[in-house]
Structure 1
Amino acid sequence: MIHEVDDVLRALLRAEALDRTSVTVVFEAPTRDWAAKVNAPTVNLYLYDIREDLRRRERGLYNEYDDAGVVIARRRPPRYFKLSYLLTAWTKRPEDEHRLLSELLVCLLRYEALPSERLGGELGELGVPVPLSTALPPPEDRSFADVWSALGGELKPSLDVVVSVPFTASPRYAAGPPTEDGLQLHLDGFEPPPRPDPALAARSAEKPVYGRPDRELARRAMTRRSGPRDGGA
């Protein structure tokens, strides 16, 4: 999956941001030694972090059907992982680098997910969106200055590009054959309660239900109220 995301990002940037330039797109670690060897305009997409996107974690199992629509197996739902790329531009002049970063940012801001028409391989077969975010603030437990310090290079303007990729690798649980006569449950030592007597149930139905007024009592009360009062003519 990771190499497929690399291919989509490279193709997207080349087609929509670098189509009329000779800028190359690489996936190298921007260390001090690597930077010293760069002698041509370059865009670097360095994958510096991989972690699960817990907000997209789902529970339960997905059914797998055969041609007849019968469940033959079950799998766990896909788990999404965030691939974080450090996007930088490398030229001889800072002004050219800023111009390149501007073009790259405009290109990526058009999309909230990787374009479906550019997805291939397993990503294309899944048929699900692959979320994309650009230049969001870093998590609280990580800063870009720490990334550059770990690389041993000098701090440089960059864009943080994060792609949430679904991984479908999971155990496959085979399902049992479908039942033909329905499901019957038998418990050892358990006797079902006796069926209620119809005559008793009929008598119980005649009794007033809590919250429902007894019509006979209500009729008698109305008769007493409508009768002659003491001392009446």
Structure 2
Amino acid sequence: MIHEVDDALRALLRAEALDRTSVSVVFDAPTRDWAAKVNAPTVNLYLYDIREDMRRRERGLYNEYDEQGIVVARRRPPRYFKLSYLLTAWTRRPEDEHRLLSELLACMLRYEALPKERIAGTLAELGVPVPLSIALPPPEDRSFADVWSALGGELKPSLDVVVSVPVTASPVYAAGPPAGEGMQVSLDGFAPPPRPAPGSPEEKPVYGRTDRERARRAMTRRSGRAPKGKT
């Protein structure tokens, strides 16, 4: 995905900001040694940070369907990663660099996502927007001065370009077979067991007593006599 974003950014800048010029577009680290070797007008897009865009993370699973509209598999939704580029212009005169930066800024501000006609490969097959932002304030945990210090170069006017690219590489879970029309149960040849006769030893007691015993005890309570065998 990253190389496809590189190609899309290069195509966009060459077509709309650097048209009919000999300015090169490169993706090198702007170190002190590299800057000393630049001898022609150059626009540099240095990829200095890659991190997940947590605001765009989704939960759950996406269904995949066959030609009959039956779910055959499920996969996780794409996760977006922010690719942060340090966009700089390199010429012999600072005024020319500022002019180049103005053209680059005006070009990027026309779009909130990479133009579809500049996207190719896997990104084009996904058919989803690829958000693009430029010159936003840096996160609290990072400053551009720190980036230049890490590169060992001198602080230079730059534009921060951030592209949120979707990554679809995730496990695919096979779906189970579709449910049928229902369960059919056949009762052919089944007969319930015979019910025992009242008072027989096979009859189960109700709360520990048979119905006949309960009736006998009720009559005893009404007559005031104790049942036989009881004192």
TM range (shorter): 0.7 to 0.9
Relative distance call for 1:183 and 1:10 in structure 2 (3 A) is: farther
Give the 5 Å matches for 1:127-142. Answer: 127-142=127-142
Q: Give the number of aligned pairs.
A: 184
Normalising by the residue count of structure 1, what TM-score does the alignment of the two structures yield? Answer: 0.78
Identity among equivalent positions (%) equals 88
Please name the residue that 2:115 is paired with. Answer: 115
Show the 5 A alignment for 1:177-192: 177-182=177-182
Higher gyration radius (CA) = 2
Per the alignment, residue 124 of structure 1 pairs with 124
Amino acid at match of 2:116: S
Gaps of 5+ in 2: 185-231
Q: Aligned AA for 1:160?
A: D
TM superposition shift of 1:122:
0.9
Q: Which residue of 2 aligns with 1:160?
A: 160
Residue 39 of structure 1 aligns with which residue?
39
Aligned equivalents of 2:72, 2:116: Cα separation in 1: 30
1:72 to 1:92, Cα distance in 2 relative to 1, 3 A:
same
**Structure-2 separation of matches of 1:50 and 1:65:** 33
User: Cα distance, 1:116 vs. partner?
Assistant: 1.3
Residue in 2 that maps onto 1:173: 173
Q: Which residues in structure 2 correspond to 1:35-114 (within 5 Å)?
A: 35-114=35-114
Q: What root-mean-square deviation, in Å, do the aligned CA atoms of Structure 1 and Structure 2 show?
A: 1.1
1:95 alignment partner AA: E
Cα distance in 2, alignment partners of residues 65 and 180 from structure 1:
18
TM-score by length of 2: 0.78
Unaligned runs of 5+ in 1: 185-233
Name the amino acid aligned to 1:84. S
Deviations 1:64-107 (A, max 9, x none): 11111110000000000000000000000000000000000000
